[in-house]
């Protein structure tokens, strides 16, 4: 794809109806009963299920919603303590930059909008996870996976609840779902093969979410957000582990052509997530020329875009762990090399970070969270 084609493809996807209340997606996947109730036939999934049952928390009572949040302050924190991240500064310095004349006021407004956009997309993504895991309960053939996925449905409901409450009570002007994210969620739900729901949601979207939450958790000092992220992250770490455990077993039995399908799906998802992070709607709301900003952002190498780096630093090693990078003729390795992100393959995968995020029994004890 030439840079002009790439730009056109990004710009062609926009939200058409901001007032849409419901969005229907047809899913042809068969719902599977299993009569094999042998619990523990997959011991790792059983362990995860037992762990999940003990690790339930309540978004209504475990988080202190009385905390006052200053949206401007928390938004600035999320930019790393400055209104401008390094890459935005670089954008501002470029010749003909549409944001060259920005002063502190504009940057402050940008920080608030960007944060509200980010939390809004987390909220919509969490709803995607809620629907996808409900679908996995129906479509996965193994009883241990149905049991585990049922706990994840509850987890995701809680995540939708707490992000929604934070966004609507503590921040201003939420954003509708980003069109690239909506297309990705649609693609995941439309696919009738049950393992694709896992690959799209549990590995790609959740892997990215865990990276993004971890990044925010590290820099946040706003106590409610920090608490909320800590709880959510502990759940998400289990979710990615569920995906990796299940898919490894499935992929071992697939043909070369079937593996290629999975590689292509993973690559498409990577591009959609990259495009979603360009935050078209934020630039639009701020009255900035979206085309010009998109062109500049696409031209930026991933190593200069901190958020993108972070995202690829989880997705690439997760794909490697699943054996997707080099399966068949190594198609996915070639594609990741082409878009300049193959260097992340040896970054710690999400599974390695699982222990770090796992709160274990800490859910019962408020002081370990504080
Ligand atoms: Fe979630
Ligand atoms: Fe999740």
Q: Which domains does the chain have, with CATH numbers?
A: 37-369 (1.10.620.20)
Q: How far is the CA of 56 from the centre of ligand 2 (A)?
A: 13
Give distance in angstroms: CA of 61 to centre of ligand 2: 20
The winner for highest mean pLDDT among 32-36, 246-250, 356-360 is 32-36
**201 CA from centroid of ligand 1 (Å):** 10
CA of 164 to the centre of ligand 1 (A): 12
Which sign does the torsion angle of CA 217, 222, 227, 232 carry? negative
- Position 313 confidence tier, pLDDT thresholds 50, 70, 90: confident
256-284 residue pLDDT tens:
899 999 999 999 998 888 777 788 899 99
Please give the model's pTM, rounded to 2 decimal places: 0.89
Distance 206 CA to ligand 2 centre (A): 6
Residues in the 5 Å CB sphere of ion ligand 2: 129, 206, 236, 239
Quote the ligand 2 centre to 150 CA distance (angstroms): 12
pLDDT of 364 above 50: no
Does residue 38 sit in helix, strand or coil? coil
d(CA 100, CA 104): 12
Tell me, in angstroms, the distance from the centre of ligand 2 to residue 295's CA. 32
- Asked whether the predicted pLDDT for residue 110 surpasses 80, the reply is yes
Whether the per-residue pLDDT at 13 is higher than 70: the answer is no
**Which ligand has the minimum distance to the alpha carbon of residue 198?**
2
How confident is the model over 249-258, as pLDDT tens digits? 899 889 889 9
pLDDT reported for residue 366? 33
- The CA 235 to ligand 2 mean position distance, Å, reads 7
Per-residue pLDDT of 40-92, as tens digits, reads: 999 999 999 999 999 999 999 999 999 999 999 999 888 876 666 677 777 78
DSSP class of residue 34 equals -
**Residues that place a CB less than 5 A from ion ligand 1:** 126, 129, 156, 159
Average model confidence (pLDDT) across the chain: 86
Is residue 357 over pLDDT 80?
A: no
> Which-ligand-closest: CA of 133?
2
3-state helix, strand, coil in the chain (%, to 5): 70, 0, 30
Q: How many whole angstroms from 103 Cα to the centroid of ligand 2?
A: 38
How much distance in Å is there from the Cα of 242 to the middle of ligand 2?
A: 10
Ligand positioned closest to the Cα atom of 159: 1
Q: How far away, in angstroms, is 163 Cα from ligand 2 center? A: 13
The CA–CA distances, whole Å, from 96 to 104, 138, 288 equal 19, 53, 12
pLDDT band, very low/low/confident/very high, at 296 (cuts 50, 70, 90): confident
Q: In whole angstroms, what is the distance from residue 172 CA to residue 23 CA?
A: 24
- The predicted structure's pLDDT at residue 351: 61
CA of 152 to the centre of ligand 2 (A): 7
Which ligand approaches the C-alpha of residue 127 most closely? 1
Assign 290 a pLDDT band (cuts: 50, 70, 90).
confident
d(CA 237, CA 210): 7
CA of 57 to the centre of ligand 2 (A): 14
Structure tokens, 289: 């020329």
Query: Relative to the alpha carbon of 201, which ligand is closest?
Result: 2
Contact present, 348 and 211 (Cβ < 8 Å):
no
Among all bound ligands, the one having the nearest atom to the CA of 59 is 1
Q: Measure 56 CA to ligand 1 centroid, in angstroms.
A: 13
If pLDDT is split at 50, 70 and 90, which confidence band does 21 have? confident
Q: How far does residue 159's CA lie from ligand 1's centre (Å)?
A: 5
């Amino acid at each position: 794809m030439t840079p002009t084609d790439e730009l056109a493809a990004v710009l062609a996807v926009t939200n058409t109806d901001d007032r849409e209340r419901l969005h229907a997606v047809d899913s042809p996947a068969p719902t599977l009963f299993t009569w094999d109730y042998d619990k523990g036939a997959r011991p790792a999934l059983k362990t995860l299920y037992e762990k999940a049952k003990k690790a339930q928390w309540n978004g209504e009572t475990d988080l202190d919603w009385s905390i006052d949040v200053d949206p401007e302050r928390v938004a600035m924190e999320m930019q790393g303590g400055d209104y401008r991240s390094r890459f935005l500064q670089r954008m501002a310095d470029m010749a003909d930059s549409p944001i060259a004349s920005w002063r502190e006021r504009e940057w402050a407004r940008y920080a608030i909008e960007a944060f509200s956009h980010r939390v809004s997309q987390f909220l919509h993504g969490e709803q995607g996870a809620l629907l996808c895991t409900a679908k996995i309960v129906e479509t996965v053939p193994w009883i241990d996976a149905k049991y585990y996925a049922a706990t994840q449905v509850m987890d995701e409901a809680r995540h939708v609840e707490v992000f929604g409450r934070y966004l609507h009570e503590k921040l201003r002007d939420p954003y509708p779902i980003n069109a690239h994210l909506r297309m990705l969620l649609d693609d995941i739900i439309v696919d009738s093969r049950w393992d694709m729901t896992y690959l799209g949601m549990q590995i790609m979207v959740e892997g990215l979410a865990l990276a993004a939450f971890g990044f925010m958790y590290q820099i946040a000092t706003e106590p409610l957000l920090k608490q909320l992220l800590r709880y959510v992250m502990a759940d998400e770490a289990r979710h990615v582990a569920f995906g990796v455990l299940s898919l490894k077993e499935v992929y071992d039995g697939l043909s070369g052509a079937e593996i290629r399908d999975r590689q292509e799906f993973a690559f498409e998802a990577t591009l959609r997530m990259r495009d979603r992070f360009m935050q078209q709607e934020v630039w639009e709301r701020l009255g900035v020329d979206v085309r010009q900003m998109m062109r500049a952002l696409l031209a930026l190498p991933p190593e200069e875009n901190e958020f993108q780096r972070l995202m690829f630093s989880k997705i690439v090693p997760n794909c490697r762990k699943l054996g997707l990078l080099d399966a068949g003729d190594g198609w996915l390795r070639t594609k990741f090399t082409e878009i300049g992100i193959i260097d992340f393959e040896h970054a710690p995968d999400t599974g390695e970070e699982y222990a770090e995020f796992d709160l274990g029994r800490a859910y019962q004890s408020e002081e370990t969270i504080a």
